[in-house]
Amino acid sequence: MFKMFYPAGMAGSSYDIEYEELYKKGYRGLIYDIDNTLVEHNADCNEAASKLFARLTGTGYKICLLSNNKEPRVRRFYDGLIRSGVDVTNIFYIFDAKKPSRKNYRRAMKLMGTDSKNTIFIGDQLFTDVYGANRTGIRSFLVRPINKREEIQIVLKRHLERMVLHFYKQDRWEKLKESNLVLIGFMGSGKSTVGRALAKKWSFTFVDTDSLIEEIEGTSISKIFETKGEEYFRECETETVKKLVKKYKRHIISVGGGTPLRAENRKLLKNAGFVIYLKASPETIIERLKNDTTRPLLQREDKEAAVRELLEKREPVYQEAAHIRVNTDNKTIDEIVNEIELSV
């Protein structure tokens, strides 16, 4: 019923979106709401916003600010970008945009030289920002508003938004319930811990492919590597993944760090459900695994070098294997769980 207001995706903040990944997928234009999306309502451009815009234009994006606010407010933000040294050659703005009217979304694309297929809209309001983007056929991201306290007319709208979002989440939940969530990532990235927490919260069943292999083989992963070799273990992994795809729904599936290396496994995992890459920096992994003796691939004298080497090789594979990536560095389990819930 409310589908025309549903965003294509949600993010905790406009600063958390995986822009570089979207660029690789072919997106070239970004349209931003300003107030409560990039900065607090009516606030000046700040360091975070200018850094983000410098990074995005450096990536190759064109950007257009699209605000229902009046010219002086929008210009003040734009001037802030200029003052902070951002090259604004590829940054445009439109004030008094009358969102959700389609007219200025189209004008924004014209200014950027993009079209509805390679443009993304980012905003914090459903009935103006997201609805307008949907009407224009542009992919939209809804972000959490930056200010907690808002004007009364917005507070009323937020009640209605909450109702629509309730249905939106319910729809997505219905789909997920018939499927699985798959967690991939490097050793020590938190797949099992996060997987167990999610399974408990959602009443899903947690399953870990390494444990399944150990059960079937009747011995530890280290022993399998030692006696039968890595290739044999990789075969076991593929067999296990094949079984999972056939059998399960409503499962959180955590797979070993090397499982996505085989193209066949990547395909099977994407068929099994929604795949999330839990990303952790080499420093985080090294710290977590410094005393670990159970990962045969890391039992080298220079463990740190082993982590860095493997991670560098695998990073693009994980990116390709996953539907989305969630950064886990410096986040608590609850924060990671919340982020996953926003993204699925």
CA dist., res. 336 & res. 330, Å (int): 10
Token readout for 236 is: 């076991």
Interface with ligand S3P by CB under 6 A: which range of 30-38, 111-119, 127-135, 252-260?
Answer: 252-260
46 vs 152: CA distance, rounded Å: 26
Binding segment (CB under 6 A) for ligand S3P, from list 121-129, 144-152, 253-261, 264-272: 253-261
Task: Return d(Cα 302, Cα 334) in angstroms, integer.
Answer: 33
Judged by beta carbon, residue 145 or residue 258, the one nearer ligand S3P is 258
Smallest distance from the beta carbon of 307 to ligand S3P, in angstroms?
Answer: 10
Give yes or no for a cis peptide into 282 (omega within 30° of 0).
no
- Measured from the CB atom, the residue of 35 and 237 that comes closer to ligand S3P is 237
Residue 187 in contact with ligand S3P, rule: CB under 6 A? yes
* Cβ 206 to ligand S3P shortest distance, Å: 13
DSSP sequence for 93-155:
EESS--TT-SHHHHHHHHHHT--TTSEEEEES-IIIIIHHHHHHT-EEEEE--S-SS--HHHH
Which residues 273-312 are close enough to bind ligand S3P by CB under 6 A? 295-297
Name which of 129 and 210 has its Cβ closer to ligand S3P.
210
Find the binding residues for ligand S3P in span 205-224 (CB under 6 A).
Answer: 210, 221
Shortest separation between residue 161's beta carbon and ligand S3P, angstroms: 39
Decide: 266 and 260 in contact? Cβ < 8 Å: yes
Q: Using CA atoms of 108, 109, 110, 114 in order, give the dihedral in degrees to the nearest 10.
A: 150
Q: Which is nearer to ligand S3P, 99 or 295 (CB)?
A: 295
Contact 213, 261 (CB under 8 A): no
Query: Contact residues for ligand S3P (CB under 6 A)?
Result: 187, 191, 210, 221, 256-258, 295-297
